[in-house]
């Protein structure tokens, strides 16, 4: 029997997921010190897919009922993994990991807008519209006027992360149709496999064959991205979804940036300015209002 209450166990899972995904930005930075961004992302999806397929085999979970799902995995892998992972990691070559985490929190805002445009039962109410508007005001504040006025590498890095959030928004809408009826762990393994189809050829074409002669911190970052931030995180994600529902699960969006901010400060001495912190405060307010206004059936 499932529940949609935030029990202590659900809060524990939410904290664990926030810790894992919050440190993914730190891991990206570590991995980028020795590998190209496409190589980092390719290792992530390949390792995550392998770990999840082993889990699926060990649990003897049912595979997709027909071959049409593999085409859907290609689309899901593109929208939910290949594009956003690549944009985030590329962007982190030019901006701090903490700022990337803040901008990535706009995923929930884009998710609401895309769903409202596509699904009749996800109409944008006034209350939710206010939450989205406040949230985007926070994003603009965090980015700063210089990014709006000219395209520097720093500005491009910020917009890349925002682009990743937009891609996640489209992925969420497509997933409602594409993976319906599948065991969640199988769907996660399938879309990571689909991402491999896009990313590995791109990596080989642009960055070449990986050297594998990376320093220990680089391998640590890659390993955590693959097995922690991909395989383990998806298992926790779907466990929370089953126990507490999508509305409560969305709270993790508010928890990830603080983890990334502390981790970036502790390891790399990253320090955000008052503008970025104020932007996150405004964005968090918008996300909180959005969550409060979520339909009761979610």
> How much of the chain exceeds pLDDT 90, in percent?
68
How many C-beta atoms lie closer than 10 Å to residue 245's C-beta? 19
Range scoring the smallest mean pLDDT among 198-212, 262-276, 282-296: 282-296
Query: 225 is written with which tokens?
Result: 């991205």
Contacts of 57 (CB under 8 A, 6+ apart): none
pLDDT (tens digit, 9 = 90+) per residue, 6-55?
A: 788 999 999 999 999 999 999 999 999 999 999 999 999 999 999 999 99
- Where in the chain are the domains? 8-292
Q: What are phi and psi of 52, to 5 degrees?
A: -70, -35
Query: 179 is written with which tokens?
Result: 């993976």
Is 145's pLDDT higher than 80?
no
At 2 the pLDDT is: 44
At 180 the pLDDT is: 82
pLDDT (tens digit, 9 = 90+) per residue, 235-245?
A: 999 888 888 87
Contacts of 221 (CB under 8 A, 6+ apart): 26, 27, 28, 29, 30, 31, 32, 33, 40
- Beta carbons of 55 and 131 less than 8 angstroms apart: no
The average pLDDT across 147-155 equals 75
DSSP string spanning 99-147? Answer: HHHHHHTTHHHHHHHHHHHH-GGG---HHHHHHHHHHHHHHHHHH-HHH
- Beta carbons of 75 and 194 less than 8 angstroms apart: yes
Is 3's pLDDT higher than 90?
no
> Chain-wide mean pLDDT for the chain?
90
Cβ-in-10-Å burial (0-12, 13-18, 19+) of 227 comes to middle
pLDDT (tens digit, 9 = 90+) per residue, 113-137?
A: 998 888 887 788 888 899 999 999 9
pLDDT (tens digit, 9 = 90+) per residue, 33-44?
A: 999 999 999 999
At 4 the pLDDT is: 59
How far apart CA 165 and CA 162 sit, in angstroms, is 5
Centroid of chain to Cα 170: 13
- Beta carbons of 29 and 221 less than 8 angstroms apart: yes
Range scoring the smallest mean pLDDT among 75-84, 176-185, 222-231: 176-185
The average pLDDT across 183-199 equals 96
The closest of 241, 115, 254 to 171, measured between CA atoms, is 115
At 56 the pLDDT is: 96
Is 179's pLDDT higher than 80?
yes
How far apart CA 242 and CA 250 sit, in angstroms, is 13
Identify the residue with better confidence: 144 or 284. 284
At 298 the pLDDT is: 42
pLDDT (tens digit, 9 = 90+) per residue, 58-73?
A: 999 999 888 889 999 9
For the chain, how far is it from start to end, CA to CA, in angstroms? 17
Is 188's pLDDT higher than 90?
yes
How far apart CA 47 and CA 52 sit, in angstroms, is 9
């Amino acid at each position: 029997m499932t529940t949609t209450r935030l029990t202590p166990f659900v809060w524990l899972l939410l904290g664990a997921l926030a810790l894992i995904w919050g440190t993914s930005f730190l891991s990206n930075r570590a991995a980028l010190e020795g590998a190209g961004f496409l190589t980092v992302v390719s290792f992530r999806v390949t390792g995550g897919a392998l770990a999840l397929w082993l889990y699926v085999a060990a649990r003897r979970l049912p595979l997709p009922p027909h071959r049409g799902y593999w085409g859907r995995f290609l689309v899901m892998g593109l929208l939910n993994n290949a594009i956003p992972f690549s944009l985030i990691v590329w962007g982190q070559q030019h901006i701090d990991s903490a700022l990337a985490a803040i901008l990535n929190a706009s995923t929930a805002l884009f998710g609401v807008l895309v769903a409202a445009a596509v699904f009749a039962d996800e109409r944008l109410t006034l209350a939710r519209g206010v939450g989205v508007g406040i949230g985007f005001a926070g994003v603009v504040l965090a980015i700063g006027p210089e990014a709006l006025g000219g395209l520097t590498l720093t500005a491009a890095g910020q917009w890349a992360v925002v682009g990743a959030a937009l891609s996640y928004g489209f992925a969420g809408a497509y997933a409602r149709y594409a993976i319906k009826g599948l065991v969640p762990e199988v769907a996660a393994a399938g879309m990571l496999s689909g991402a491999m189809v896009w990313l590995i050829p791109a990596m080989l074409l642009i960055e070449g064959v990986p050297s594998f002669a990376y320093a220990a911190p680089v391998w640590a970052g890659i390993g955590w991205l693959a097995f922690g931030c991909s395989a383990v995180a998806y298992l926790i994600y779907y466990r929370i979804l089953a126990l507490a529902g999508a509305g409560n699960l969305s709270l993790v969006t508010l928890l990830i940036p603080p983890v990334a901010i502390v981790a970036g400060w502790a390891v790399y001495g990253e320090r955000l300015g008052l503008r970025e912190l104020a932007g996150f405060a405004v964005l968090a307010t918008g996300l909180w209002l959005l969550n409060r206004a979520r339909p009761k059936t979610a």
